[in-house]
Chain A
Amino acid sequence: MIAVEPQGANAPSDSRSRPAEQGVVISRGTRVYLRTMTPDDLPHLSAWVDDPFLQRMVGSEFLQSYRHVWDKSPAFFEAILSDPTQVVLVIEAYRGWTTPVGVVRLFNIHLLEGYAFLETIVADVRAMKRGFGIEAGKLISYYGVDVLGLRRIEAKVYEYNVLSMNSLRRNGFRQEGVLRQAGFDGERYWDLVIFGILKDEIEAVRRQDKVYLPLDPSEGNGREPT
């Protein structure tokens, strides 16, 4: 059977076929899949680190390190690959997307204690509000539990980043506290909101996951499945 997969209303209209998959695919969801980084991803990172919107919304130490510590050196790739305290995966979206839409990582991984921090960066503005970040966070959380043996994952969000807070809540994260005026955007200080999720709560989210049928209309319209 040949299935025709409609593109999202605002998906890139690039008519080129999708390039062959790079890296090693670690996890597949219904909207996105996660793969290991390759050197070919560095130009994307280079563009993302210069995006002031991403800087304000995410304030990623990962991106800042690439720009300010590594000066966008290709050696950053090897450094990431050989860093056992973090797992960095590239987010690729299905259907109409020819370039990575972002990156998701577990960092400050404490293997003995079983906890780590989550950071999800959906860098392509056209890819926002499509559930890509939610699914990417979910997939890497499963990876953290299954492969790394994590029992707890934490995330920090700027108080004005409502989109990220909602994404975390949809993945079962709970707000655990507020770090008052812990973030600085160059002009003023902002609170950082702390979210956390435990292993059994991640498993509860996994049990609620649905298997989507090919004609399921949820893809690309920005709505979450009900």
Chain B
Amino acid sequence: MATAAIDERDEAAPHLRARVGDAIGRGSARVMVDLQAVTGPDAAGIAALLEARRVLETQAGGTLVLRTNGVVCRALRVTGTIAAFALWNGPGM
């Protein structure tokens, strides 16, 4: 599984698009996006996550998993998008 860590708010959306694109280009169908360092998810960032999910779902076995924190979870709930993602609740959550 390829992992993309997002940590800079202003660059999150384009960074995410680029990283997921790279992962798919390398043949990774399962991608985890580490959002634990994100402090202020905005609409553009969540839209980028949804777009990444759509792209991955076109791949055989494609899966997008989010590693989130409380702020990100709240933003996903507020926007009604939390059910659209698989959330990883592994160690450290």
Contact = CB atoms under 8 A, between A and B. Distances in A.
Contact of B50 (A83, A86, A149): A149
Given A24-B10, A112-B84, A85 B47 contact: no
Contacts of A82: 40, 42, 75
Contacts of B81: 111-112
Contact of A112 (B10, B13, B50): B50
B28 to A, nearest CB: 22
B42 A111 contact: no
Interface in A134-168: 147-149
A36 to B, nearest CB: 9
B86 interface: no
B40 A87 contact: no
The SS class assigned to the A binding surface is loop
Contacts of A111: 43, 46-47, 50, 79-81
B44 interface: yes
B21 interface: no
A111 B53 CA distance: 13
Categorize the interface residue count of chain B: 10 to 19
A109 B40 contact: no
Given A82-B40, A86-B43, A110-B80, A147 B13 contact: yes
A84 B43 contact: yes
A85 B74 CA distance: 12
B79 A87 contact: no
9 contacts: A84-B45, A85-B79, A87-B42, A111-B43, A111-B46, A111-B50, A111-B80, A147-B44, A148-B47
Interface of A: 24, 81-87, 106, 109-112, 147-149
Given A111-B50, A112-B50, 10 more contacts: A82-B40, A84-B41, A84-B45, A87-B43, A106-B43, A111-B46, A111-B47, A111-B79, A111-B81, A148-B43
